[in-house]
Structure 1
Amino acid sequence: MKVLKTYNSKVSSQKENICFLVKDIMKFLSDSSDVSEDVLFEIKVILNELLQNAIKHGNKEDASKSVEVSVGITADNHVYLIVEDEGEGYDLDCVCAKEEVPEEVTDVCDLKENGRGILIVKNLCDRIRLNKKGNKVIVFKSLK
């Protein structure tokens, strides 16, 4: 995988950092490649969910802990997003298994609060991976 451009940042685990970081990354993506508004919106949702999870659940909103974010645009027109916190981690398969969408659910608002964000991310991206510890999420998404 040939990476054309990258963005890296490290912020303290405070919710007010999410908005700034997402805006900065969205500017990086829109300045770096020709991406449709629909894809940018999906990436924005993914970033918001991953950062919320890292700060709230991973680092327990402990401002002395940080969240690292890396974004890259590849030659084959994909973006990768890496979000890593200093928390204890979790098991993606376990969370997603608990949150399988029942057939009668027609609105994401009907899902339980815990696990809903990662389920949204999983459905918006092409691939999602976690490190063994479960505190580093890697997401791949096509820019087309």
Structure 2
Amino acid sequence: MRFMVIVKANKDTEAGVMPSTEQLAAMGKFNEELVQAGMMEAGEGLHPTSNGARIKYAGGQGSASRGPFPLSGDLVAGFWLINAKSLDEAIDWMKRAPFGDGDEIEIRQVFSTEDFGEALTPELREQEERLRAQTAKK
């Protein structure tokens, strides 16, 4: 199963405070353990919302607003994409992540093609597989 691990933003990440050498080393060590265990597909930190935008849709049209956005529980500062046998295994691994007091992450399972059942027609399934193969080549 694939899981998206969402690292929640805080006042420091939104202010653009960069991690210390010690924090980067600890995260690098943890990421290396994930890679060696064959779990990590991707993992990145994100710039603060002051460098981003949101697009809201209405009536078939999108309108953009640029950050910064107010600090709230829905802001994301980074992510991992991992493979785990279960949510429990993902939780066990991510409890070991080198975060400090008050930091928060969220773990969400990624949909697989099987999850969509009959709504994913053979044509849509073929398109999905073709697009994944193209993406993997890059």
TM-score, reference length from structure 1: 0.33
TM-score, reference length from structure 2: 0.34
Structure of higher CA gyration radius? 2
- Structure possessing the higher relative contact order (Cα contacts under 8 Å, 6 or more residues apart): 2
